[in-house]
Every structure is written in C-alpha cells, then in structure tokens.
Amino acid sequence: MTDDTDSTEAVVSLQEALRGELKDPMGEVYTDADALFSAAKLPVIAVGDIVTYHLIEADHRPDVALIDGQTKRSAIEDHVQEAIDEGVFGREVEVVNAAAGLSATLLSALSTAVDAADDGASTIIVVDGEEDLATLPAIAAAPSGASVVYGQPDEGMVLVACDDEVKARVTDLFDRMDGDTERLWDLLGG
C-alpha cells in the first residue's frame, strides 16, 4: 500500500466549465521584476519557469518556485533553464502532476516548501507534467499577506496578494472542481 502523499493521481481536477474563470489576472500585472518585488510581501511563491527566471535575473529569488520546463506548451530556452539551475535554491523537490489537475505529490511538496520558507529555506519544485494550476494551491497554502507570482501569457507577471478575498475565491474554485477537496485541504495542511 502506498502513502497518500506519494500519489501522482489528481486529487482535484479542473473541468472545462471553470477554465474561463482563470483567464483574468488575480492581481496586478507587472512587466518589471524589480517593481513587482518592491510591491511583494514575503514569502514570495513563484509559479512558472519564466516568472522564476525573471525574478532570479533581477536578484530576487523567490522563497518557493514551481517549474515544469515549459512555457506556452513549448520547452523553455537553454539560458532560462541554466539561470534557474545555478544552485539558487537550497532544496529541490521533484513531483509528478498531470495537466488540469493537482496531484498529492505536488500539494504535499508545496505545503512543505511554504512551511520551510517560514524558517528561511528556499525550495524549487520541479514538476514532471504541468504546473499551470499550481497557482491556486500556492495561494491557499501561502500565509496571509504573502505573495504569489505567476505568468499571464503575453502580458507579464501577476502579483497576487494572499488576502482573505483571494483565498476565498480559490476556496470557491476548489469546491467546484472535480475530486476530493477534503483530501486537498489535508495535503495543504488544513
């Protein structure tokens, strides 16, 4: 018997009817990493290779980053991968996550990484599969007042202030997804 936290199957998945609700940015869009980081509150959780790259290049390593080696469904360029691979993060975790879903391994790794950030540790989570939906559990797992940054294709980087309003929006989305939301919250630490 395998441990629940090792499961790579989706705990919850996004059905087609909810996709439209994720199109609009959940925060302010920035094109300058310095300006974004000046407005961000710690800890900073970055979702996506290009966002992570831009923050690192501006000397603002996020506390937690989730990457999948892809941008707009294509492999990232070598210089982006090299910048992220430069030993910037104290810890690296590999997880498996399918498209349009959130696996137990991703949710557990994210929860652990956010907890470790409270102690000053930095973590990069390398996703075998897709990290596109990881913004939602990142917001849910982040402490109140923290920042989540993700990419808005062809627009820039979205800075999400993790306040009660945005956390309630994420909770509502989770409640309407297919799957086991109770298990999702257990894996995210409550």
State pTM to two decimals. Answer: 0.93
d(CA 50, CA 117): 21
Residue 3 lies in a domain: no
d(CA 66, CA 106): 9
Q: What pLDDT score does 151 carry? A: 94
- Total domains present in the chain: 1
Residue 188 lies in a domain: no
Q: What pLDDT score does 79 carry? A: 84
Residue 10 lies in a domain: no
d(CA 27, CA 12): 24
Per-residue pLDDT of the chain (190 residues; tens, 9 = 90+): 344 444 778 999 999 889 988 999 999 999 999 999 999 999 999 999 999 999 999 999 999 999 998 877 778 888 888 889 888 999 999 999 998 999 999 999 999 999 999 899 999 999 999 998 999 999 999 999 999 999 998 899 999 999 999 999 999 999 999 999 999 999 998 7
Residue 9 lies in a domain: no
d(CA 140, CA 81): 27
Q: Which two tokens stand for residue 188?
A: 């995210």
Residue 84 lies in a domain: yes
Domain range holding 140? 26-178
